[in-house]
Amino acid sequence: MTANLKKAELHCHLEGAVPPALTLSQARKYNVDTDAFLRDGTYVWHDFTSFLAAYDAVAALFRSEDDYALLTETYLDELAAAGAIYSELFVSPDHAETVGLGADRYMAGIGRGIEAARARTGIECRMVVVGLRHRGPERVEWAARYAASCGNPFVTGFNMAGEERVGAVADYARAFAIARDAGLSITVHAGELCGASSVRDALDILRPARIGHGVRAIEDAELVARLAGDGIVLEVCPGSNIALGVFADLTAPPLRRLHAAGVKVTLNSDDPPFFGTSLQREYETASRVMGFTDAELNEMTRTAIEAAFVDERTRADLL
Ligand code: ES4
Ligand code: ZN
């Protein structure tokens, strides 16, 4: 039973964590038809492109500071109830611009949700601002400049998500330089939709502390050794890998092999209701299907806290 284990999550997209029931209540609030992306309580999509479309449709139902406070609090309360003591949320100011909310009010709403959840449950949370790769280098640089200058105390990192198959990593180097120069910690999506070379390029060009996914590094033994040697932390999301067809079934994600090779790995839910998962379910699968012991799962939680984008005092409190 993994329900009683302490947990920490480094990789979850806020708008990817909307429970279907909340999507329905938001749709009623704004009088929006959800049939195209939500049927019988399940999000409808069939590949990464249609997943992103469904995700954007859900995000478009959050239009005010209060909406974002409610979403954040809802997710963090549920996560805390599953044993989580720490959560890093990926937030995309791009979504706020799309609905005319504006990035500052978006971030303020999320910040309020974080504070409310912390007051009630004790869960600690930080925001990692995400640039959307498929919107191009200039838009990702805009997100980096926003993250660098917004002054929100919960923002401690910068990331790039979206369609991995668009453009070259080098096109986005300037965005990451802006974020790094502002003191933000760096993680980046690589090695889920694309292979080992995408992980190598990300390491060479962006010098991240962590990689989102990174699991396809397993295709290259030398790269696995490099990840282990350099202490790069992988934000592994097995349920996401299965949902997106990267691996055939839950015995296939190479979490065991990466762990055995000495790579630092953590467990994450990515976009939980879209991928039929939750952080609790990821721990449970790692235990029951992959055979990780409670001690090994506790070690993964500790790895996540050690790699969290927090100040050292907060880290010490969490450990
Ligand atoms: C993603 Cl842009 C975006 N949103 C949610 N989940 C993702 N995974 C990769 N890119
Ligand atoms: Zn992700």
How far is ligand 1, taken at its centre, from the CA of residue 15, in Å?
A: 9
What is the number of the ligand closest to the CA of 270? 2
Residue list, annotated binding site for Zn(2+): 11, 13, 189, 270
pLDDT tens for the chain, 319 residues long, are: 899 999 999 999 999 999 999 999 999 999 999 999 999 999 999 999 999 999 999 999 999 999 999 999 999 999 999 999 999 999 999 999 999 999 999 999 999 999 999 999 999 999 999 999 999 999 999 999 999 999 999 999 999 999 999 999 999 999 999 999 999 999 999 999 999 999 999 999 999 999 999 999 999 999 999 999 999 999 999 999 999 999 988 787 799 999 999 999 999 999 999 999 999 999 999 999 999 999 999 999 999 999 999 999 999 999 9
Does 65 fall in a domain?
A: yes
Does 198 fall in a domain?
A: yes
Q: Among the residues of 31-64, which ranges form H helices?
A: 48-59
- 301: tokens are 């939680």
Q: Which residues is 129 bridged to in the sheet?
A: 91, 158
SS3 state at 186: strand
DSSP per-residue codes, 56-76:
HHHHTT--SHHHHHHHHHHHH
How far is ligand 2, taken at its centre, from the CA of residue 48, in Å?
A: 11
pLDDT at res. 252: 79
Residue 145, CA distances (Å) to 42, 141, 173, 181, 198 in order: 36, 6, 13, 10, 24
Q: Count Cβ atoms below 10 Å from residue 291 Cβ, excluding itself.
A: 10
Domain containing 149 — which CATH number? Answer: 3.20.20.140
Report which protein residue has its CA nearest ligand 1's atom 2. Answer: 162
Residue 205, CA distances (Å) to 168, 171, 215, 218, 313 in order: 10, 10, 19, 20, 30
What is the number of the ligand closest to the CA of 10? 2
Task: Return d(Cα 250, Cα 252) in angstroms, integer.
Answer: 5
- 164: tokens are 């991995």
How far is ligand 1, taken at its centre, from the CA of residue 155, in Å?
A: 18
- 251: tokens are 């015995």
pLDDT at res. 253: 79
Q: Give the percent of the chain with pLDDT over 70.
A: 100
Does 246 fall in a domain?
A: yes
- Nearest-atom number in ligand 1 for the CA of 193 is 9
Q: Report the domain count for the chain.
A: 1
Q: What is the pTM of this model?
A: 0.98
Q: Which residues line ligand 1 (CB under 6 A)?
A: 13, 16, 55, 132, 161-162, 189, 271
By CB atoms closer than 10 A (0-12, 13-18, 19+), residue 299 is middle
Task: Return d(Cα 224, Cα 215) in angstroms, integer.
Answer: 9
Which sign does the torsion angle of CA 157, 163, 164, 169 carry? negative
What is the number of the ligand closest to the CA of 48? 1
| Residues with catalytic roles | 192
The DSSP secondary-structure symbol of 270 reads B
Structural domain boundaries, residue 147: 7-318
The DSSP secondary-structure symbol of 47 reads S
Task: Return d(Cα 179, Cα 42) in angstroms, integer.
Answer: 36
What length is written for the chain? 319
Q: 């039973």: which residue's tokens? A: 1
Residue list, annotated binding site for substrate: 271
Residue list, annotated binding site: 11, 13, 189, 270-271
pLDDT at res. 250: 79
How far is ligand 1, taken at its centre, from the CA of residue 166, in Å?
A: 13
ipTM confidence score: 0.95
Does 294 fall in a domain?
A: yes
Does 2 fall in a domain?
A: no
Best of 18, 51, 52 to mutate for ligand 1, by most ligand atoms within 8 A of CB? 52
